[in-house]
Amino acid sequence: MTDPAINVSHVSKQFGETQVLRDISMQVEAGKVSCLIGPSGSGKSTLLRCMAFLEQATSGSIHIEGEPLGFTDGPQRRRQSPAELRRVRSRIGMVFQQFNLWPHMTALGNVAIALRKVRGMSRSDAEDRAMAQLDKVGLKERAHHYPAQLSGGQQQRVAIARALALDPTIMLFDEPTSALDPELTGEVLNVMRQLASEGMTMVVVTHEIGFAASVGNRIAFLDGGRLLFHDTPQAVFAAPREPRLEQFLDTYLDRGASMLK
């Protein structure tokens, strides 16, 4: 049996006195999409950020395709060297809520820079490849625009292209549409749908319950730093047995119902 794409094992995380994640274990199989849902402060973003080692788990371990991320395996938990961390992390593409494009580079520059500086590609090779990625997210015409000249949806699509250009096997999305209005949300979700249909392994922190239900192979529900549920959308949405989950989903139903009045 092959290793899962992501294996989270007994991860706990403390910020000072606050326990943000409590003994979380979950696996994401290659080619599957897991959506992390839950109320604000439930720890879902922190869990995702741990998967990219942007946050360090206080205890527990995370393996990416069988290799430890951030800390070495073995009895003594030691930090990986920066080079080793970069090597393991190179399989992961990360997309942020605030896009985090670099404002002093064009869309093309944002996508091309790591190809040049990390992959050592020539400028023209890197830009050809970057242009192909921008084309894929429908932004070839905007390649020479700076981030400030792009809409939020376009910026997020550039950010997705930037991550994809480095050939990750796993894509992590941290509330990718939370900073966007509903119209722009659609264009970003479409790109993500396409990516999922191509078999990309994805973990998505989202409040878009509809997207989670239709694209997610698994739904993970977090509350108070605990993983209460990690199951198929059918199991989660059709028959929520967990009272806390039922309550959480009701808030979405309430909003939908109030629109019909």
Partner 1 sequence: MSFDFAVILAKLPQILSGLGVTILIWVGGTFAAVVLGFVVATLRRFGGRGIEVILRAPIEILRGTPFLVQIFLLYFGGPYIGLRLDPWLAGLLGISIYGAAYYAEIFRAGFQSVPVGHVEAAECAGLSRNQIITAILLPEMALLVLPPALNMSVILLKETALLSLITVPELTMTVQAIGSQQYAFVESLVILALVYWALVELANWLGRYAERNLSKLSA
Residues at the contact surface with partner 1, assessed by CB under 8 A:
52, 54, 82, 86, 89-90, 92-94, 96, 98, 100-104, 113-114, 117-118, 146-149, 159, 162-163, 166
Q: How far is the CB of 178 from partner 1 (least distance, A)?
A: 13
Quick one: 86 or 123, whose CB is closer to partner 1?
A: 86
Q: Of 153, 141, 217, give the one whose Cα is nearest residue 186.
A: 153
- Comparing CB distances to partner 1, the nearer of 116 and 244 is 116
Of 42 and 155, nearer to partner 1 (C-beta) is 155
Q: Between 104 and 261, name the residue whose CB sits nearer to partner 1.
A: 104
Q: Judged by CB, which is closer to partner 1: 4, or 93?
A: 93
- Bridge-partner residues for 218, per DSSP? 34
Nearer to partner 1, 146 or 252 (CB): 146
The least CB distance from residue 52 to partner 1, in Å, is 6
Secondary structure of the chain in HEC code, one letter for each residue: CCCCCEEEEEEEEEECCEEEEEEEEEEECCCCEEEEECCCCCCHHHHHHHHCCCCCCCEEEEEECCEECCECCCCCCCECCHHHHHHHHCCEEEECCCCCCCCCCCHHHHHHHHHHHCCCCCHHHHHHHHHHHHHHCCCHHHCCCCHHHCCHHHHHHHHHHHHHCCCCCEEEEECCCCCCCHHHHHHHHHHHHHHHHCCCEEEEECCCHHHHHHHCCEEEEEECCEEEEEECHHHHHHCCCCHHHHHHHHHHHHHHHHHHC
Shortest distance (Å) from residue 215 CB to partner 1: 22
